[in-house]
Amino acid sequence: MPPAFVSPDRIRSLFARAMSDMYRAEVPLYGTLIELVARINADTLRADPALAAQVERNGERERLDLERHGAIRVGSAAELSMLRRLFAVMGMFPVGYYDLSVAGVPVHSTAFRPLDGASLAANPFRVFTSLLRLELIGDAALRQQAAAILAGRDIFTAGARELIAKTERDGGLDEADAQRFVAEALETFRWHGDATVSLHDYHALHRAHRLVADVVCFRGPHINHLTPRTLDIDAAQAEMQRRGIDAKAVIEGPPRRAVPVLLRQTSFKALEETVSFPDAEGRLAPGTHTARFGEIEQRGLALTPKGRALYDACLAKVRNMQGAGSTPGDYQERLAAAFADFPDTPDELRRQGLGSFRYRPTGAGAKPSADERETLPPEAWVARGYASADPIVYEDFLPVSAAGLFQSNLGGTEQRAYAANENQAEFEAALGAKVDDPFALYARLQEESLAALRKA
């Protein structure tokens, strides 16, 4: 009898739930965010029947309450490539390359996430994963010390390693192994209240960059936030402020739109947490470390390369505008002004080829002829009432917001600049695989919906 493997989607769902429970216990404010977002989502759907219908049509109601992303930072190629194999067990694969050195953060990153429509609908859980780039640290002695510490740690349990190997060998895991895998994998993401280095070494690494200390001084890459998805981030932001949560002043990303695009995010500031540091005699000295925070996001339309170029151009305008002042209100105004020319109806976004859409038969009276089926462009299907077209959700990240998060959430305000150091080839060599191109994945989702439409 063949073994009864459970699907990677199920393992991912089990893992996302376990991670959420763990983070809720570790960071109680996260529980508050979850509850706040669930309420706002229910209210938003009640107040907006068209949105509710769209969410329903796309099978997104279920995933909405499950939806989270997390973030971790690792220190070596060995750790990154092992993570790739761990995430593959859960049907999560590396998508996109993000160079954050331009923003003064010595890492480059990818997002591990499900790829196809059915897996995304089942549970879109994703983890933004960054690799420390020690080569960007100026002090050679410190660089060597950090590399030696990293070389001496293993962030994976023996059980996790064994079950990853078993999956690769046998092609899957049965239910009992899947449960065991989730428990073992979770260990890698846990917070450690004790550092592996002395307070003195911590401070030295911290001076090189806060992020170096965060990656190097602990036994594992603690998950540093877990982000639920809201349908109305302005309402979520107002509610955070009303409850006295120390939220960031501005929402990162595009302005509020009738058709939300890409990703808008807000967060509360990172917590300063007590950590003990062993000295040479093994005595523990108290100190603190700042890494973990809370974040909420709203996801919108996945843009095509043409749409993304327009988005980037609009955003660049904001930076060049001389604002009346620098209050959050002024920023929102400037942002809205800069995006005035960005189309904001589904029809116009589609006509100009700025976004990716999922087409499906309306099931209404009107039906295309056999001939139309072959020749009619997608736009005409919608115009003639044969098909509906809904925005495909952006599943990835924005490097500019990510950099803003890194900066505000490592607890510091100082800005550092590294020269632009994009090196995707080196990242992929460390990862042991190529990353997928997000634009190609969105194009494929749209193409698949069109192919199904023509066959229907």
Q: Please, are residues 22 and 222 in contact by the beta-carbon 8 Å criterion?
A: no
**At closest approach, how far in Å is the CB of 128 from Ni ion?**
6
- Taking the complex as a whole, how short is the minimal distance between the CB of residue 144 and Ni ion, in angstroms? 31
**Closer CB to ligand OOG, 167 or 267, in the complex:** 267
CB atoms within 10 A of CB 18: 16
Measure the CA–CA gap between 397 and 95, rounded to whole angstroms.
10
Collapsing DSSP to helix, strand or coil, 127 comes out as strand
401 binding partner (options Ni ion, ligand OOG, none; Cβ < 5 to 8 Å by kind):
ligand OOG
Chosen from Ni ion, ligand OOG, none, partner binding at 402 (C-beta under 5 to 8 Å by type)? ligand OOG
Distance, in Å, from the CA atom of 252 to the CA atom of 394, rounded to the nearest integer, reads: 15
Q: Which is nearer to ligand OOG, 222 or 257 (CB)?
A: 222
Closest listed residue to residue 108, CA positions, set 132, 128, 126: 132
Find the helix or strand (DSSP H, E) in which 425 lies.
Answer: helix 424-431
Binding residues (CB under 5 A) for Ni ion: these are 227, 295
Quick one: 128 or 156, whose CB is closer to ligand OOG?
128
The entry of Ni ion, ligand OOG, none near residue 45 (CB within 5 to 8 angstroms by kind) is: none
Q: Which is nearer to Ni ion, 389 or 410 (CB)?
A: 410
Q: Which is nearer to ligand OOG, 167 or 224 (CB)?
A: 224
Q: Report the partner that residue 13 touches, choosing among Ni ion, ligand OOG, none (CB closer than 5 to 8 A by kind).
A: none
Residue 248's binding partner among ligand OOG, Ni ion, none (Cβ under 5 to 8 angstroms by kind) is none
**Minimal distance in Å, beta carbon 276 to ligand OOG?**
23
Residues of this chain that bind ligand OOG (CB under 6 A): 71, 73, 128, 130, 224, 265, 397, 401-402, 405-406, 409
Q: Which does 224 bind (CB under 5 to 8 A by kind): ligand OOG, Ni ion, none?
A: ligand OOG
Cα–Cα dist 240/405, whole Å: 17
What is the DSSP annotation of 88-112? HHTT-EEEEEEE-GGGT--EEEEEE
- Output the smallest distance, CB 406 to ligand OOG, in A: 5
Measured from the CB of residue 71, what is the shortest distance to ligand OOG in angstroms?
4
Q: What span, in angstroms and rounded, lies between the C-alpha atoms of 348 and 29?
A: 40
State which residue, 226 or 435, has the beta carbon closest to Ni ion: 226
Question: Cβ-count burial of 230 within 10 angstroms (0-12 exposed, 13-18 middle, 19+ buried)?
Answer: buried
Q: Which of 156, 167, 161, 132 is nearest to 7 (CA)?
A: 167
